[in-house]
A and B are shown apart, each in its own frame.
Chain A
Amino acid sequence: MYNLLNNLIGNEYVAAVIAAALPLFVFILPFALAAVLLERKVSAFMQDRLGPNRTGYRGLLQTVADILKLIQKEDITATDADKKLFNLAPVLVFAGCYAAFAAIPFSGAYIGADIDLGMFFIVAISSLVVAGILMGGWASNNKYSLIGAMRSAAQMISYEIPTALVILSLVLVTGTLSLHQISEQQTAYFWNWNILGGAGLGFSKLLLIPFMIVGFIIIYISSLAEVNRTPFDIPEAESELVAGFHTEYSGMKFAMFFLAEYANMFAVSSVVAALFFGGYQSPFGYLGNTLGISWLVPLEQFFWFTAKGMFFVLVQMWLRWTLPRLRVDQLMTVCWKYLIPYAFVNLIIVGLITLL
């Protein structure tokens, strides 16, 4: 993408800036607009309510109105808050989320940075988010914020371990850490997806299927915990902590935390889709190949990638409005006593199967 822009514009600085800003304006902002509305509609539907229905046709403009409201709000900083860190924290959290989008393959033609260690990079860069949340929680000088930040950091660090173990077991199967190559390997049809044993044929593919499903369940649960979604939303449990680490934030800074949360939801969903469900590959082959129109294929791939990502975001919302919240100790028990041992056993078995 960068090379294309570089040839088109002829200035490498402008091309680099455009390539870096593209996912934000083309993807994250419209996605957040849609997802916030979707979340409210889904929750209303599940609780037998109507949801927002006054602004625009059936409430379609509700999020736009919300954002206009947030922009107008006064920027309040609590008197005893640590001003520098308080202002820096939302930026750091959003930067951490946005950096992960650099390695996500939106389609065969567009991937921000096709680095060979893409998956590993995404896991590592999300630790910036942890630091940002701790910073915000501490700088607010509010006990709810601090407790929320502590819980959030503890949870994100713990659940990184099962995620990393499942990713390792996928590396054993695919032999690469690049999300682009992992997607490329699961070509064309849905029986080549990693959840169904990958693109290879033979006995080991059949053997892999149950362990891949276990791996998928583990990584999906831990990705829920990493983005602080229910049933793992104890960092911002309204009933005990007001709003957790962003209690003191208002106006645009709050909007940045909010945007980061939704961006993160899509990031983890798309990583799961890329690892197990073929990434940007279509489940039924491409219309562009059949008709002989080559430029249609990347667009189709973008469509499939977004569709898979949105599907998993929808499942996250579904779970949020279905399940109650876990207690802190239950949360840690789930991670350390169940997910990590299962992930280890899964890793060993997958390793043995790939040796066959």
Chain B
Amino acid sequence: MNIYDIVFYLFAAITLASAFVVVTARNIIYSAFSLLFTFFGIAGLYVLLGADFIAVVQLMVYVGGILVLILFGVMLTNKITSVQIKTGTLQVIPAILGTALMAGVLIKIFTGTNWHSQMAQYPTKTTAYALGHILLTDYVLIFELLGILLLIALIGAATIARKEEKAS
């Protein structure tokens, strides 16, 4: 086992263990904080796959943005409302059916796909240039549309959050 293997298993273990806690923890705060380690582990796996840009974006968007928003939401509501916010087990039979179906489809896809696997190469160059180039040439329309979509979401959020101006 060389050092890359050890790091891979380390990150894989972090991801799996913390993802397990996310699902099973009774306290929703624990779930939220375990999600931090899941995101971190996944970022590490991306790095080992040579996708350095995606790894850093993963940290930036999920840990820096989404996770902190989740934490804010949970912390601000957890102790104010009298309702205990806890995760529980509901609808056992439909859930089992749903997950079994999902697992079946995934396993079918995993086994049925012809993976174009190559010999492992250690990543040497950043992917940022190639990604940027593709985004602004081949996929420029999709890129712009996504920008507009995000802008619409932003304006919508600002409109909802804004206080009503009192009519004088």
Which A residue's beta carbon lies closest to that of B47? A115
* Per-residue interface assignment for chain A, residues 116 to 159, with 1 indicating a CB less than 8 Å from any chain B CB and 0 otherwise: 11001101111110110011001000000010001001000100
**Which residue of chain B lies nearest to A126 when distances are taken between CB atoms in the complex?**
B64
* Cβ–Cβ contact B33 & A131, under 8 A: yes
Please, which residue of chain B has its CB at the minimum distance from the CB of A154?
B72
In the complex, what distance in Å separates the CA atom of A274 from the CA atom of B40? Answer: 27
Q: Are A153 and B56 neighbours in the complex by a CB distance under 8 Å?
A: no
Please, which residues of chain A bring their CB within 8 A of the CB of B126? 115-117, 177
A125 and B3 CA atoms in complex are apart in Å by 22
Q: Is the CB of B63 within 8 A of A138?
A: no
Tally of contact residues, B, Cβ under 8 A: 25
**For A12, what are the chain B residues with a Cβ–Cβ distance below 8 Å?**
2-3
Collect the chain B residues with CB atoms within 8 Å of residue A146's CB: 75
- Within 8 Å by CB of B56, from A13, A121, A128, A160, lies A121
Which residues of B lie under 8 Å from residue A157 when comparing CB positions? 64-65, 68
Q: Is A16 an interface residue (CB 8 A)?
A: yes
* B118-156 near A? 1/0 per residue, CB < 8 Å: 000000011010000000000000000000000000000
B29 at the A/B interface (Cβ < 8 Å)?
Answer: yes
B45 CB within 8 Å of chain A = no
Q: Please give the number of chain A residues whose Cβ is less than 8 angstroms from any Cβ of chain B in the complex.
A: 27
Partner of A124, one of B56, B67, B125: B56
- Residues in A whose Cβ lies below 8 Å from that of B75: 134, 138, 146, 150
Closest chain-A Cβ to B80's Cβ sits at a distance in Å of: 11
Contact B68 A117 (CB under 8 A): no
In the complex, A85 has a CB within 8 A of chain B: yes
Interface of A is mostly: helix
Bound-state CA distance A57–B1 (Å) is 53
Contact with A along B1-28 (1 / 0, CB 8 A): 0110000000000000000000000000
Query: Given the interface contacts A131-B36, A131-B63, A134-B75, does A120 sit within 8 Å of B56 by beta carbon?
Result: yes
Given contacts A116-B52, A116-B125, A117-B56, contact A124 B72 (CB under 8 A): no
Q: Knowing A116-B52, A150-B72, say if A127 contacts B128 (CB, 8 Å).
A: no
B33 near A135 (CB under 8 angstroms)?
yes
Across-interface contacts of A16 in B (CB, < 8 A):
3
Contacting residues of chain B (41-94) with chain A, CB-CB under 8 angstroms: 52-53, 56-57, 59-60, 63-65, 67-68, 71-72, 75-76
Over the window 162-190 of chain A, the binary record of Cβ atoms lying under 8 Å from chain B Cβ atoms (1 yes, 0 no) is 00000000000000010000000000000
Task: Name the residue of chain A whose CB is nearest to the CB of B129.
Answer: A116
Chain A residues whose CB sits within 8 angstroms of the CB of B71 once the complex forms: 131, 134, 138, 153
Is B52 within 8 A of A160, CB to CB?
no
Which B residues lie at the A interface, using CB under 8 A?
A: 2-3, 29-30, 33, 36, 40, 52-53, 56-57, 59-60, 63-65, 67-68, 71-72, 75-76, 125-126, 128
**Supplied contacts A124-B64, A125-B59, A127-B64, 12 more A-B pairs, CB within 8 Å:** A13-B3, A120-B60, A123-B60, A124-B56, A127-B63, A127-B68, A130-B64, A131-B33, A131-B36, A134-B72, A146-B75, A153-B71
What are 28 A-B pairs with beta-carbon distances under 8 A?
A12-B3, A16-B3, A116-B52, A116-B125, A116-B126, A116-B128, A117-B126, A123-B60, A124-B56, A124-B59, A124-B60, A126-B64, A127-B64, A127-B68, A128-B40, A128-B63, A130-B64, A131-B33, A131-B68, A134-B72, A134-B75, A135-B33, A150-B75, A150-B76, A153-B68, A153-B72, A157-B68, A177-B126
